[in-house]
Chains A and B, each alone.
Chain A
Amino acid sequence: MPKAWVVVYSITDFITVGMLLTVVAMNSLKRMESFIRAYTVNSLLLAALMAVSAFYLDAAHLYIAAAVTLASKGVAIPLLLKKVVRELKITHEVEPNINTPLALVISSVLVVIVYSSLSKGIFIEGFTENTLKVSISIILISLFIMITRKKAVTQVIGLLLMENGLFLAGFSLTYGMSTIIELGVVFDVLMGAIILGVFLSQIKKTFIDLDLDKLTTLKG
């Protein structure tokens, strides 16, 4: 392939690091709207990464995957989340379990752990080792966000972020699975988001609150 690989590497690295930064930044965000916006940016970057790789690799099916990602994760799900937030009148994430500076430190520690301990895997053309490391960091940090936040909506966003990380990891190792599988995964995520939205409103109706601490009362 006569493409300039240096350019490709720098572009993919640029995008993936951007994704990592959005996730890290989410640790410090308190307003619900900016939280969703950060997720949107993350998804858009993912779609962009796929489009770029499709261009450089001349893989038509990746264009489809990129378009679908853009439509679902970049547009549909953020809209859905915004709607839920508006309906349930959630504006602020009330005090997280851990204060912002500490959360940022822990996230960066997670990144360091991933970078220092992940041994060389099998990497394919067009992506660097960096991509895999970033994707695993994204997964761990999203999990960490889910731990530090109390509202059910933020849990959902954390889960969606994790999904982005998983998607990136799978993509970086396999050029994306066959189109039909990717479509299936995307569809699953979309359905999951819808169902979670419905659940959230149900929880709100039943418990008046979306604070997860209240769920401990369900314990036998």
Chain B
Amino acid sequence: METDRPETASSKTTGKISSACYLLYAAGCLIPGLLALRDLLFGYSWHVSLPLSGGLALSFGGGGLSAYFVVILSLLVFCVSIYSAGYARHSSAPWSALILYGIFVSSMYAVFYSANIPAFLIFWETMSLSSYFLVVSDTENIEASRAGLLYGVMTHVGTAFIMAAFMVMFFATGSLEFPIIKAGLAGAGGLRSVIFVLALIGFGTKAGIIPLHTWLPRAHPAAPSNVSALMSGVMIKSGIYGILLVSLDILGGGAGLPAPLWWGVVVLSVGAVSSVKGIMYALMERDMKRLLAYSSVENVGIILLGVGASMIFSFNNLPSLAGLALAAALYHTLNHAVFKGLLFMGAGSAVHATGTKNMEEMGGLIKRMPWTGFFFLVGSVAICALPPFNGFMSEWLTFQSLIMGIKTSVVLTKTFMLLAGAALALTGALAASSFVKAFGISFLGVPRSHEAEAAKEAPATMLLGMGILSAVCLLLGIFPGYMLRLLSGIPLPGLGSLPQFAPGGLAVTGVACSGVLPIVLLGALLAGAAFIFIFPLVAGGRRKSICADPWDCGIRKLTPRMQYTATAFTHPLRRIFKKIYKPRKEVRIEYIVKPFFTREIEYRSEITPLAESYFYRPLVRALHNVAHSAKRLQSGNLQLYLGYILGTLVILLVVWG
């Protein structure tokens, strides 16, 4: 998909038609998006049922949680479709990509609207399958088809768990409709925990929680960048949606039935581990899109931190704190969709322009692609949770809820909140470092390859898609109060008791009071920037500026190879977290005259992915061994097979005859 083909007249028309189709998608997604926004603002909800044969029906409903996710989806689909109009112009298979994209997007809508088990499962599978085909759409890339296989296996394992959870629901209540199940499960006791665990594993696979994340850093980068933006931005959120739907809405019985304490603790721990380890692996990535994919694991972790904290607060009967933590999680869900979509689109432009995903071969792109660079910078700042962008607001809220949890009187809650807060703090620092690396290595400095030197700015539609999301990043960061008003309409425990925030700023009252005014922050930042510009002029008067090469330590000419590399940048952290990364280093030197003159130095460094080495690989090896011993039964000899049949028949006859 990333390769340019010589443009013929027919491919040009095809490109134009497919661009027009993508713009149609963009226009089309506005309808459900605006309707859902209306549902959310005025608290409407609706329900339709389409009867199928055999007493089966597909039910759909809107309002509340599903309306919120539809708004997120529509916002992102709108921008990504505009971006795709430019991006897909050079696609090698425009029609199949266009159709699959449409199926993928509409199945996501249907998943969020589903109101009974058959509808949910059918569209969940449609979503998984269409995204699988999009991942493997680059047929020449063997890596992509491997990633697709892994994705296919993992997503079906997840679906199996989801189906199991739904089956338990069905057997407990005898109904396929979510509202009836909700009422029927209120007194189910221990069965609720079974459903919760099954659903957490099933939906967690889609959301990419560690250790079920292995497919995510492979499959997301393998897909075309517009699809990666949707997969990372919204599709993994369908996992979050599922977790919220099952554990808070359905199992909460609608009336805020509190979850057992250990549910919250499990979700909180999963969130903490995913966020810290996700960002640690992101830090070590050289592949730009994989870095973003790992960072998605991290952000899912942050969202789950909020969800887990909310569950623990509900258990301790602290509804306003529970609402705050849940609002932070939902807010971060939207924010992550926005800036991760933006970053994937920016990465897509950079990858498209340079033809490589390896950051070590980019460099200096900001001079050649100024707008893409600027939008990527906005996304990076937002994901690092720096004001005045949206990432700051939601992470600040998450922090606030955790810190107030520390101030509560329950010792157990205190301990968990303290640990989770520490994990979130570490995550924030590592995220900043990751994105300094991602932006610095690929956009700053001088080009590290000829392709990077020849890079050209992306077409206008692609820039427009990114530009809109950048603006949304800023708006969501400046007007958090409006966002929280929107959230307070969702009928989930605690959200109704959210304090009504002033639209300009946020003030959190629970155990203590804390507030922030983003407009003031923005003003302070702008004033500070202006000060930096003006101060030298005022203090030192006018000066003459001279452009010269930087000091080169006496080496006559600096080459791009002497720049700080991504690997070098992260080296200190690799040393610090040696216990977790378990880095393997290999240096091979060829000498002309030992030990002073070298001909060639090869340096290779790798980190050990823990989940793969200690969970998946032993599992696969064990499966292989079992399969190998089973192979002995299959000798290929016909008489032997007939013998098996005879033996089985005789045994059956003797035992049950």
Contact = CB atoms under 8 A, between A and B. Distances in A.
A168 B587 CA distance: 78
Interface residues of B, number: 15
Interface in B632-657: 634-639, 642-643, 645-646, 649-650, 653-654, 657
Chain A interface, >50% SS class: helix
Interface stretch (A22-30, A141-149, A177-185): A141-149
A140 B635 contact: no
Contacts of B642: 143, 146-147
Interface string A120-154: 00000000000000001001100110111010000
A114 interface: yes
Nearest to A141: B646
Interface in A154-213: 155, 212-213
B194 to A, nearest CB: 41
A118 interface: yes
A146 B639 contact: yes
A117 B638 contact: no
Contact of A215 (B638, B649, B650, B657): B638
A114 B636 CA distance: 29
Interface in A103-122: 110, 113-114, 117-119
Given A113-B650, A147-B643, A118 B637 contact: no
A117 B654 CA distance: 5
Contacts of A114: 653, 657
A97 B639 contact: yes
Given A143-B646, A147-B642, A147-B643, A118 B636 contact: no
Given A146-B642, A213-B637, A118 B657 contact: yes
A119 B657 contact: yes
B636 A218 contact: yes
Contacts of A213: 637
A143 B636 contact: no
A212 B653 contact: no
B628 to A, nearest CB: 14
Nearest to A148: B639
B639 to A, nearest CB: 5
B653 A215 contact: no
B636 A216 contact: yes
B645 A143 contact: yes
Contacts of A150: 639
Contacts of A110: 650
A140 B639 contact: no
B639 A212 contact: yes
A217 to B, nearest CB: 8
A118 B636 CA distance: 32
A140 B638 CA distance: 16
A132 B505 CA distance: 88
B646 A147 contact: yes
B654 A113 contact: yes
Contacts of B653: 113-114, 117-118, 136
Nearest to B636: A219
Contacts of A143: 642, 645-646, 649
A118 B652 CA distance: 10
Nearest to B650: A113
A196 B365 CA distance: 71
Contacts of A119: 657
B657 A216 contact: no
A218 B639 CA distance: 15
B638 A144 contact: no
Contacts of A144: 646
B649 A140 contact: yes
Interface in B474-516: none
Contacts of A212: 637-639
Contacts of B639: 97, 146-148, 150, 212
A150 B639 CA distance: 8
Nearest to A110: B650
Contacts of B649: 139-140, 143
Contacts of B635: 216, 219
Contacts of A136: 653
A216 B641 CA distance: 12
Contacts of A215: 636, 638
Nearest to B653: A117
Contacts of A219: 634-636
B632 to A, nearest CB: 12
A150 B640 CA distance: 11
B651 to A, nearest CB: 10
7 contacts: A110-B650, A117-B654, A140-B649, A143-B645, A147-B642, A212-B639, A218-B636
Q: Which 4 residue pairs across A and B have the least CB separation, nearest first?
A: A219-B636, A117-B657, A216-B636, A147-B642
Given A114-B653, A146-B642, A147-B639, 18 more contacts: A110-B650, A113-B650, A114-B657, A117-B653, A117-B654, A117-B657, A118-B653, A119-B657, A136-B653, A140-B649, A143-B649, A144-B646, A146-B639, A147-B646, A212-B637, A215-B636, A215-B638, A216-B635
